[in-house]
Structure 1
Amino acid sequence: MRRDNEFRYSRLAHILREQIMSGFIKPGQYLLSENELCKYYGLSRTSVRKSLEQLQKEGLIVKKVGQGTIVAPDLVIPTGERRTLRILAASPSHFVDNCLGLMIEAFQNSYPHVDVKLLSFPSWNFWDSLSAGGELGPWPDLVLVTDRNFAEADGSAAFCDLSAIMAETIGDMYPRVIEPFRKSGAQLAVPATFSPVYLAYNPELFARFGVAEPRPGWTKEELLEAAGQLTVDLDGDGMIDYYGLSLSSYFSRWPVVALQNGVKFGGVGERERAELAESLAFFHDAIYRKRVATLYQNWRSRINADAFPRGKAAMVMTTTIEMAGWRSEHLPFEAKIASLPFGPVPSTLLVANAFMMPEQCPDRELAAAFLRLALDPALQKRIAAETGFLSCLPGVNEAVWDPASLALLNIAGGRIENGLFAHELFADLDKLDELDTEMDLFWAGLESAESLAGRMADILAKD
């Protein structure tokens, strides 16, 4: 735990240092308040204060009593003749923490005369931060976004069509992954990694409590039965020590259950309401009626916040991106993949990280060189083997992953079967946020699945 806390505060110090040294926050300007830094970066006040103390020791910031913290007014940022590649990324990010560094290292080995500067802004106001940064200082050469960031782009910044620059690589990628990053015929983003949401399990807990591991094609009822056997009060004090399942209220997870039950989130008919109610009832069954699942809600806490990486829950819906982050923090067991058993439709959600190149990119030549190297099959194979990330290149995954695992992820024969990104389910992402807000009572066990399904259908029906 101590190592994790040190990692968190040193990472924030790096983020703020790069914002200062790149000129995004200029000498004499105020940083966000401690409360805002805690909120936006998902950190404790202790971690934020340690970050600020480190920057103060370096002479980069000055604390003004009762007013806040400013960049040192007399700070001089050195300039040189070396070229600089600036990459802007959303934070927090498992991809940035565990994968992007390998790409930057490989790039600097090939281009030793180039400095790479990584800037990070909170995901919640990512595009506003980019616009503000462009007004105050140099634009980034590349922007690393999630699929959700991409869908939320408001047009305040224009981006290059990467079709010609990355033509050869794009042609080798999974069509299902590359196509959702096109708008009006232009390839505005090129994904660097992706993952389906899948079911992972801890084989050590299954063995410890004498429960058979999931078989291919198992059912929802079999999952709940196994979860019951894996939910254990070891000392008889009335408190559960191990849960069979960890469930998340976050919108990148729970809709998988609905998709597997045939829910089309654009529909609002009686059949749709019934399918949605059936899907939602699964969560109340697992969490409140059978009490075989724990609910994971605080997504801002990220590493080790979920019971699964702590070895306290036997199964979880996750992604290879999240799993890579857990592994980097020394996951105490080797997780396995189980088939998703929630309904008759073999569907799931997809998530991705992708690169975009702003029209205002200061150095398109360098940016294009970085993209080509980052997505080179040899480097992609190394990253996949070392971190567990999935590549967007079928040949890489087939060389690194075993066929059985790829099949369980619905990836086979160079294709991705029945996977959808959230922005393909919801053309209007404001509705997604509205639905998320409306679910608070449901997750607390204070509203029935039928009642919530009705209200959700009404929201989806609105123009």
Structure 2
Amino acid sequence: MRRESEFRYSKLAHILREQILSGYIKPGEFLLSENELCRYYGISRTSVRKSLEQLQKEGLIIKKVGQGTIVSPDLVIPESATKVIRIMAPAPSHYVDHCLPIIIEAFKRKYPNVEVRLLSFPSTNFRESMRTAMELGHAPHLLIVTDRQFDELNQFASFASLQDRFQGTLDAMYPRLVEGFRRDGEVKAMPATFSPVYLAYNARLFAEQGIPRPEPDWTLSDFLSAAKRLTLDTDADGITNQYGLLFSSSSSRWPVIALQNGYHFQPGSSREALVRTLDFIHNAVYRERSVTLCQPSYGANSKAFVYEKTAMVLTTAIEAAGWAADLSFEPQIAPLPFGPEKASLLVANGFMIPTHCPDFDLTAQFLETALDPELQVELAKTTSFLSCLTVNDQVCEEEDLRALNIVGDQIINCHYLSDMFEDPMLIGELEAEMELFWTGLESADSFADRMIRIIAGT
């Protein structure tokens, strides 16, 4: 835990330092308050204060008692004599933390006279930060976005069409990924990494209870039996401290259950399938009590699985890549057993180039480095991320790829949230309306009717 705390405060210090040195926060201007920094970047007040102390020692900021923290009014930012690529990305981001440093290092070996600067902004107000940066004349060369952020942009004319420059690379990618970043017939983002939502499990905990490992043909009944046997009071204090499954209420996780049961969040979709989905969740959490819920603070918040307090978790390769430093076991991949349709959600990150990019050719060279097949294989081996290029069979077992719905050069029956929700604002509306359901205070029947009305716009 100490290593994680040190990483968080040094990371925030780096984020704020780059915002200051890039001119996004100008001399004399206030930083976000400590409370806002805690909330936006998902870290403790102690880590925030350590970050600010570090910047104060460097002479970048001054604390004004009773007012807040400002960038030092006397700070002079020297002009860089080298070429610079500015990358804007949301924070927190597992891809930015674990893949981007390797990509930047590979790029600098090829272009040693080019400096790469990363500007990270809170995911919760990323669009606003991007707009402000452009208004201040700090337009980035490159943006890193999630598929959900991409879907919420709506201003696609402000970003370059990429298929002409990168058609060869796009041809080497999974077609399903590329389609998710296409608008009005043009590819507006180059896929960077992706993952279907899948079920990870701790094989050691299965073995301790004499439970066979999940097979490709395991059933919902098999899953429920295993989850019940894996839910334990391991220290005999009368409190359950190990659960079969960790389940997140995040909209990037629970809809998998609906998809597997044939509900696709469209007007006219089967009410029966939706009720079956919602009732399964209530049964598992509140009747059988073999599943524990977590509220999503960042991503799906899978700490309980990492610390071996649950035997299974719905996750993604993007999230799982962030576990490496804290894991004492090797997570395994199980096929999703929740319904007759072998479907899943799809999440991805992508690169976008603004139409007013200061140097399109240099930025394109950075992307060509990032998506080089050899580097993509290296990233897959060293970080556990999946490559958007069809090279994952060089790293992953065929059985694991099939459990991820990846067959050859195709991703089978996996859906972006944007496939299901034409209006991305509807996702947030549903999240807000599900509060009583998640606490068990609204029945599956009652909420199913309300959800159907919301989706139908009535």
Q: TM-score range with shorter-chain normalisation? A: over 0.9
Q: Does 1:451 align with 2:446?
A: yes
Structure 1 residue 399: deviation in Å?
Answer: 1.1
Structure 2: distance between partners of 1:445 and 1:244: 19
Q: Does 1:322 align with 2:322?
A: no
Local SS of the residue matching 2:305: coil
Query: Residues 85-117 of structure 1: CA distance to partner in whole angstroms, max 9, x if unpaired?
Result: 110001110101111111111001110001100
Local SS of the residue matching 1:362: coil
Q: Does 1:309 align with 2:311?
A: no
Which residue identity lines up with residue 380 of structure 1 in the other structure? Q
- Structure 2 counterpart of 1:276: 274
- Structure 2 counterpart of 1:405: 400
Local SS of the residue matching 1:314: strand
- Judge conservation of contact 1:192–1:353 (CA < 8 Å) in 2: yes
Structure 1 residue 339: deviation in Å?
Answer: 0.6
Structure 2: distance between partners of 1:89 and 1:68: 26
Which residue identity lines up with residue 100 of structure 2 in the other structure? L
Runs of 4+ in structure 1 deviating by more than 6 angstroms, as ranges, are none
Q: Which of 370, 374, 377 is the matching residue for 2:373?
A: 377
- Structure 1 counterpart of 2:388: 392
- Structure 2 counterpart of 1:126: 126
Structure 1 residue 431: deviation in Å?
Answer: 1.1
- Structure 2 counterpart of 1:162: 162
- Judge conservation of contact 2:141–2:353 (CA < 8 Å) in 1: yes
Shift of the 156–267 alpha-carbon distance from structure 1 to 2, 3 Å rule, reads closer
Structure 1: distance between partners of 2:407 and 2:168: 22
The correspondence of residues 36-435 of structure 1 with structure 2, limited to 5 A, is: 36-155=36-155, 158-268=158-268, 272-300=270-298, 306-327=303-324, 329-394=325-390, 396-435=391-430
TM-score by length of 2: 0.98
Structure 1 residue 156: deviation in Å?
Answer: 8.4
- Judge conservation of contact 1:266–1:460 (CA < 8 Å) in 2: yes
Identity percentage over the alignment? 56
- Judge conservation of contact 2:156–2:188 (CA < 8 Å) in 1: no
Structure 2: distance between partners of 1:301 and 1:62: 33
- Judge conservation of contact 2:220–2:337 (CA < 8 Å) in 1: yes
Structure 2: distance between partners of 1:136 and 1:56: 25
Structure 1 residue 80: deviation in Å?
Answer: 2.8
- Judge conservation of contact 1:192–1:392 (CA < 8 Å) in 2: yes
- Structure 2 counterpart of 1:31: 31
Aligned residue pair count: 458
Query: Residues 43-88 of structure 1: CA distance to partner in whole angstroms, max 9, x if unpaired?
Result: 1111111111111111000111111111000101111321001100
Structure 1: distance between partners of 2:166 and 2:144: 16
- Judge conservation of contact 1:24–1:137 (CA < 8 Å) in 2: no
Structure 1 residue 450: deviation in Å?
Answer: 1.0
Gaps of 5+ in 2: none
Structure 2: distance between partners of 1:73 and 1:66: 18
Structure 1: distance between partners of 2:127 and 2:427: 18
> Quick check: 273-282 or 15-24, which moved more?
273-282
RMSD after superposition: 1.3
Structure 1: distance between partners of 2:33 and 2:128: 18
Query: Residues 196-224 of structure 1: CA distance to partner in whole angstroms, max 9, x if unpaired?
Result: 00001000101112211111121112111
Structure 2: distance between partners of 1:301 and 1:392: 21
Gaps of 5+ in 1: none
> Quick check: 192-201 or 78-87, which moved more?
78-87
- Judge conservation of contact 1:143–1:356 (CA < 8 Å) in 2: yes
> Quick check: 345-354 or 279-288, which moved more?
279-288
Structure 2: distance between partners of 1:222 and 1:236: 26
Structure 2: distance between partners of 1:432 and 1:24: 31
- Judge conservation of contact 2:299–2:319 (CA < 8 Å) in 1: no
- Structure 2 counterpart of 1:21: 21
Structure 1 residue 302: deviation in Å?
Answer: 7.0
Structure 1 residue 429: deviation in Å?
Answer: 1.2
Local SS of the residue matching 2:282: helix
Query: Residues 291-327 of structure 1: CA distance to partner in whole angstroms, max 9, x if unpaired?
Result: 1111111333877x53111111000110001110111
Structure 1 residue 154: deviation in Å?
Answer: 3.3
- Judge conservation of contact 1:86–1:117 (CA < 8 Å) in 2: yes
Structure 1: distance between partners of 2:190 and 2:202: 33
Shift of the 213–102 alpha-carbon distance from structure 1 to 2, 3 Å rule, reads same
Local SS of the residue matching 2:76: coil
- Judge conservation of contact 2:253–2:300 (CA < 8 Å) in 1: no
Structure 1 residue 157: deviation in Å?
Answer: 7.2
- Judge conservation of contact 1:42–1:301 (CA < 8 Å) in 2: no
Structure 2: distance between partners of 1:154 and 1:168: 27
Q: Which of 429, 435, 439 is the matching residue for 1:440?
A: 435
Structure 1: distance between partners of 2:99 and 2:340: 35
- Judge conservation of contact 1:246–1:306 (CA < 8 Å) in 2: no
Structure 2: distance between partners of 1:55 and 1:360: 32
- Judge conservation of contact 2:61–2:71 (CA < 8 Å) in 1: yes
Shift of the 65–301 alpha-carbon distance from structure 1 to 2, 3 Å rule, reads farther
Which residue identity lines up with residue 378 of structure 2 in the other structure? R
Structure 1 residue 360: deviation in Å?
Answer: 1.4
TM-score by length of 1: 0.97
